[in-house]
Structure 1
Amino acid sequence: MITHEGRLKAAFEAGVFVLKLCGDVRLTLCATLDKEAQRLAAMPGLKTVLIDLREATNVDSTALGFLAKVAIAVQERVEHPPTIVVDHPDVRRMLDVMGFSRYFTLVRTPMTEPETLADLPQVESDEQGLQHRILEAHRILMRMNEHNREEFQPLVELLEAQEAKSAH
C-alpha cells in the first residue's frame, strides 16, 4: 500500500536503526527528521543505520538534506556508512546526482522490516523554525558535491537574506 501523504516510521533493535519514509516526504517532516538525526548522534548501542525509501513517492530537497544530516551524525559512531534501500529508478538517479553514494551505501536489495516499526509522531515547527531547517538542509546538501553547491546556492542566499532581514 503506497500512501501519498508523507509519513516516517522508525525502529531500533539489536543495534540496528531503521528509518522508513513513506509517501510524499516534504519539508513539513524536516523537524521530525532533524530530531531523529540528533537522537541517532547520541543513541547508545547503535551499530547500523538503514533508511528504507521503497514506499516513498517523493522526497524533497529539504528532507534529503536531513537524510544527509543523519549520515553525518552517525559517521563517527558506526563502522559502515548508513544504507539506503531504494528501488525506484528516478529516486535512485536523484540520490546519485546529489552525491549520496559518497555518504551512504545505496542498495535495491529487499529487506525484512522489523516488527517494531512504528510511526514517528510529527514534530511541529513554527514558520521561523521551518525556514531555519530548510536553510540548514540546503547548506548540508551544498557541502556534498559541486553540483549541489551550484544548484542550491541561489536558494541558500535568498534564505540567508530573509533570515538576516527577520533578525532585525
Structure 2
Amino acid sequence: MTTGKILFAKNDGTYVLKLVGEVRLTLCSSLEQMINEPDFTSVIIDLTDTDTIDSTSLGLLAKLSIQTKKNLGLVPVIISTKDDITRILLSMGFDRVFVIVKELEGYEKLNLNMHDIACDGNLEQPTQVRQVLDAHKVLMGLSEENREAFSELVKQLEQIQNSGKTNTKGKS
C-alpha cells in the first residue's frame, strides 16, 4: 500500500482533489483546510489511486459536498474506478451527496498541475478528537445505517471531548 497523500489542482475555478494510497486521519487536517477554501466553483474528488479510506476522511468529504451544495447549489463529482472503494461510498450513502462516476469524460485531458498538500500528522489529541467527531456526525446524517453504525463511537468521542474541556477548566 502507498502512503497516503492528497494532491490538489485548480483549473478555471474547479478544485480537483486526488486522494492517493492509504487515506487516513493523519491527512484530515489538510483535507479540512481545503474544505474551508472559499473560491471554487466546482469540485472533483479523484479516488482512482486510493487504496483505502477511513471513515473520518469519508466524513470530511461528505462535509465538503454538503457545504458545496449549500454555498454553490451544486453537487461535487467523485471519480471512483475501484469496485471496493465504490462499494464503501455507496454503503455510506455518498450517492445522496455526490455524483459518483467510474470515469469522467475529458478529465484525463485536463492539464492539471497537481501539488501535494502539506500534511500535519502531529495534531494534538483534542484536535484529532474534534475532527473524528465532526466527520462521524456528518456521516451519521447521511443514513439511518450510518447513524446506527457510528452512534456508539460518537458518544465515546463526545465523552472524551467533554472530559478534556472539564480538565482544562479545572486547571485555571
Scaled by the length of structure 2, what TM-score is found? 0.89
Report the CA distance between 1:53 and its aligned residue: 0.2
Closer/same/farther in 2, CA of residues 98 and 13 from structure 1, 3 Å limit: same
2:125 corresponds to which residue?
Answer: 127
CA distance in 1, matches of 2:72, 2:152: 34
Matching residue's letter, 1:149: R
CA distance in 1, matches of 2:43, 2:63: 13
2:103 is the alignment partner of 1:106: no
Identify unmatched segments of 5+ residues in structure 1: none
Aligned length: 162
1:50 corresponds to which residue?
Answer: 44
Larger radius of gyration: 2
1:7-50 CA-partner distances (Å, limit 9, x unpaired):
000011112110000000001111111111011xx21xx22210
Secondary structure, counterpart of 2:139 in structure 1: helix
Asked whether the equivalents of residues 50 and 85 of structure 1 are also in contact (C-alpha less than 8 Å), the reply is yes
| Aligned residue among 147, 160, 164 for 2:145 | 147
2:66 is the alignment partner of 1:68: no
Matching residue's letter, 2:42: T
Secondary structure, counterpart of 1:109 in structure 2: coil
2:165 corresponds to which residue?
Answer: 167
1:30-88 CA-partner distances (Å, limit 9, x unpaired):
1111111011xx21xx2221000000000000000000111012113335310000011
Determine what percentage of the aligned residue pairs are the same residue.
Answer: 33
Identify unmatched segments of 5+ residues in structure 2: 167-172
Scaled by the length of structure 1, what TM-score is found? 0.91
